[in-house]
Structure 1
Amino acid sequence: MAIYRHVHVEFWKDPKVLEELTPEDKLFFIYLLTNPNTTQIGVYKITKKQIAFELGFSIESVNVLMDRFINNYGLIKYNNDTREICLKNWGKYNLNKLGKPMLDCVRSELKNVDDKSLLEFIKPSISKEEIVSLFDEAIYLDKVNDDNFKFNDKD
């Protein structure tokens, strides 16, 4: 968990933000980008109840916002079973530096993701090939482990 998160000023110039998002949407989105649960890779566990509490919204409002951000805007994905959220363009703004500490952090955080399919959602926004490779490796290992589980389960 980082102590702070950068919010690029381009956020406020983005046509989607300017023309489509309501004031409530903008607060919700800034919260998703900066809340204490965020990780370096853009996939993190958070409950709808926690979001509601921290923003002062009802659970119903959070459900409406989540639905809008998933189905209308296509900006997030949320797994209700694992309670993990991922942000589509996270990699564009947060996964653009390299170095051993950064790669070690990414490698470590990828191990903590329960729903590896969420990584596919973020991957297109990552420009650094070394980080894309780490995402690919995590996705591949998850598929291999899942296939091995299915194979062994048939015995």
Structure 2
Amino acid sequence: MGNQRGINMGIWDDPFFKKMSAAERAFYLYLLTNGHATGIGIYQIARTIMALELGISRESVQALIDRFALEYKLIRFNPETSEIAIKDWGKWIKLEGRKRDKIPEFRGVKEHSLIPYVSESIANPKIRNLYESFCKQEQGLS
């Protein structure tokens, strides 16, 4: 994984994004672009790390996670594995040009149910197929 990732500037015109508070926008952009993020929209990150990097309390981070997961339904967070999955990852992050051998991050995902959760929002069928193929491979179906 490189340290550069393109983000769709259309996020600023998205009606849902426009309705978010400044703190919520900052949190969402952080989730999409922080240094722990992988190329697949699923990664491991501790709430303590998020709090330190955002300069807010751990309680504030938890409140944002809860709002984004339960109310907005934009993320899933597994507290046991500290894995976060961003539902609209494929909508906001440039994914074109990725190949199966360029996405080793799939093997690092501990909760495999997060993979189809992210793939649902990927419009490009070739990219979405990478996610689905990995799931089938793990289930021994391919």
Higher relative contact order at CA 8 Å, sep ≥6: structure 1 or structure 2? 2
Q: Aligned partners of 1:13, 1:135: CA distance in 2, in Å?
A: 28
Aligned partner (choices 124, 129, 133) of residue 128 of structure 1? 124
Preserved CA contact (<8 Å) 1:40 1:95: no
d(CA) in 1 for partners of 2:128, 2:90: 9
The aligned length equals 141
Tell me which protein shows more helix as a share of its residues: 1
CA contact (8 A) 1:116 1:138 kept: no
Moved over 6 A (4+): none
Task: Give the TM-score taking structure 2 as reference length.
Answer: 0.89
* CA-CA distance at 1:95 after TM superposition: 5.5
Larger radius of gyration: 1
- Residue 102 (structure 2) pairs with residue 105 (structure 1): yes
**What does 1:70-149 correspond to in 2, within 5 Å?**
70-94=69-93, 96-98=95-97, 102-106=99-103, 108-144=104-140
Give 1:27's aligned residue. Answer: 26
TM-score normalised to structure 1 length: 0.82
8 Å CA contact retained: 1:41, 1:95: no
User: 1:51-102: per-residue Cα shift (whole Å, max 9, x none)?
Assistant: 000011111000100000001111111111111111111123336413xx63
Q: In structure 1, list runs of 5 or more residues that go unmatched.
A: 145-155
Instruction: Give the AA of the match of 1:104.
Output: D
Three-state SS of the structure 2 residue aligned to 1:125 is coil
State the distance in 2 between where 1:17 and 1:132 align: 24
Which amino acid counterpart does residue 51 of structure 1 have in structure 2? M
Quote the sequence identity (%): 34
How well do the aligned residues superpose, as a CA RMSD in angstroms? 1.9
